[in-house]
Amino acid sequence: MLADVDVEGAERAASELDGDARAVRCDVTVAAEVVGAVEATAAAFGGLDVLVNNAGVEISKPMVEHGDEEFSRLLAVNVGGVFMCSKYAVPALAEGGGGAIVNIASVAGLGGSPLLSAYCASKAAVIRFTEVCATELRDQGIRANAVCPAFVGGAMVDRMVGDFEAATGQGFEDVVAAKQGRLGTAEEVAETVAFLASDDAAFVTGAHYVLDGGLTAALL
């Protein structure tokens, strides 16, 4: 089940997938819509086994230029959405004997980055929240892990390039090449998510997996 505030986009994506993929509208900041998405999934597929919290937005500007409302909106989606979806998915996951929650965090949650103060704060919160879920939900058979990608090719990174280059005076492609070798791909992130959702990761919970081409391993 693909759940997205852009239900038409989710429906197009579902139509491109093999199998019985479906779509449902869900604004992760609205409890009623989250509950509805969980119920629709359980009804369509006979239960819920895996929750992937992937909704996210970014702000790319100096901290003092962050608008109060946009800062609140970012936290509502990136942190509140993870909390809301996890909270309301737990009963359905537990009813089936357990399952897996996989949260998409970021290396931005492991350290600071220019222009990304709110985004860094939100992803750090997701990592800590994941750890709490792992300990609180273990006895219900529910595992919780996070994935922390570096820069991955896609629309979000594309939107940040101009702001980053203007603020740092460096070419974005040069920084990526020096720090992580290349851009990551959505498929590489998805492969890690699939592992964490599978029985191959049955003894893995409370962890955060870093996908960054060595970015966070290097001091220089």
Contact criterion met (CB below 8 Å) for 164 and 115: yes
Contact criterion met (CB below 8 Å) for 153 and 184: yes
Sign of CA dihedral 64, 66, 67, 71: negative
C-alpha angle 73/76/77, rounded to 5°? Answer: 90
Contact criterion met (CB below 8 Å) for 26 and 36: yes
Q: In Å, what is the CA distance from 148 to each residue of 24, 44, 111, 124?
A: 26, 30, 11, 10
Which entry of 28, 106, 119, 176 is annotated as an active-site residue? 119
Q: For this structure, is 209 an active site residue? A: no
Sign of CA dihedral 117, 120, 126, 132: negative
Q: In a 3-state reduction of DSSP, which class is residue 98?
A: coil
Catalytic residues, which ones?
A: 119
